Structure 1
């Protein structure tokens, strides 16, 4: 069984967080949501979400995938978290899969993981960051162990690509069929 970590920060994009967690759970992943602090988080549109644990409590665990939902100011909070930086750097060092959607690639930029990478993100989300990357502007982009998505409008396609990368195209097709896509 594949293990997936979804860090949740106040101000995250609900649509992205829910699509990611729902679709990966449907695929059979062991999914852990972790807040940057204890207790519930308030998402960008006011939805209250209750993470399973905190990032500090799982910082030494290994995951097949760490996936970051975007949204503002959620992506900024993720980008400012030193525990998450270390986890992302370790994940990349061990060639394990990283994923981020919308503005969440900001956390990857701050962790120094976007040099010479091809990705997509919410328009303008990385303009203030000094990293050498190629923005395809596409809906979803895969570059080695990095999967990125443009924004909330592609959250389901992004999550299905995560399924594809973890389990293969047959599982992706099965989950997509269950969703009537």
Structure 2
């Protein structure tokens, strides 16, 4: 994209039981990139993640009706990914994002929400082992997969690679390098 990083808008829907390592890594690295990041809870108030970490979203998801984002990215974790899959607002948001040609992404168990929205049919996808069983899809085993406007990641151990891949996709290689270099990877 040729826009300034702060013009790039990212939405991170956060459900109870989300994987905090993934959520915090995504939010942190996107903010380091200078993106405008909105963390939206499925319900008002703090969200308790899968290992008991409490995150206070910027706002509830329903406050964002009608807004557009360059990227909607779903952290995984259980039961967080199930809540994302089962929430009709999230499903409509994902389909609308894809229909508009904007990027959707999910890591760990959250690709099941993409599958439920019909966005993984005929695509390569990375996911936590077993996360896509109910959809009949097989994850590739790759750490990160990019297939058109759909980006998926395998699990918590690749959260940083996943976030950096998305930064590069949205903001270019130079921005990714600028974010990655001080991380001393």
TM-score (norm 1): 0.97
Paired residue secondary structure (2:13):
strand
Alignment map for 1:75-86 (pairs within 5 Å): 75-86=81-92
Contact 2:44 2:60 in 1 (8 A): yes
Q: 1:139-158 alignment to 2 at 5 Å?
A: 139-158=143-162
* Aligned pair partner of 2:180 in 173, 176, 179: 176
Aligned partners of 2:132 and 2:139 also within 8 Å: no
SS at structure 2 position matched to 1:141: strand
Is the Cα contact below 8 Å between 1:59 and 1:83 reproduced in 2? no
CA distance in 2, matches of 1:44, 1:73: 7
**Structure 2 equivalent of residue 30 of structure 1:** 36
Distance 1:60 1:137 in 2: 35
In structure 1, C-alpha distance between the alignment counterparts of 2:117 and 2:147, rounded to whole Å: 17
1:1-181 map, 5 Å: 1-130=7-136, 133=137, 135-181=139-185
| RMSD of aligned residue pairs (Cα, Å) | 0.9
In the aligned structure 2, how far is the partner of 1:113 from the partner of 1:55?
Answer: 21
After TM superposition, give the deviation of residue 54 of structure 1 in Å: 1.0
**C-alpha distance in 2, partners of 1:96/1:134?**
24
Q: Secondary structure at the match of 2:135?
A: coil
Structure 1 position 135, deviation (Å): 2.3
Q: Which runs of 5+ in 1 are unaligned?
A: none
* Structure 2 length-normalised TM: 0.94
Is there any run of 5+ residues in structure 2 with no aligned partner, and where?
A: 1-6
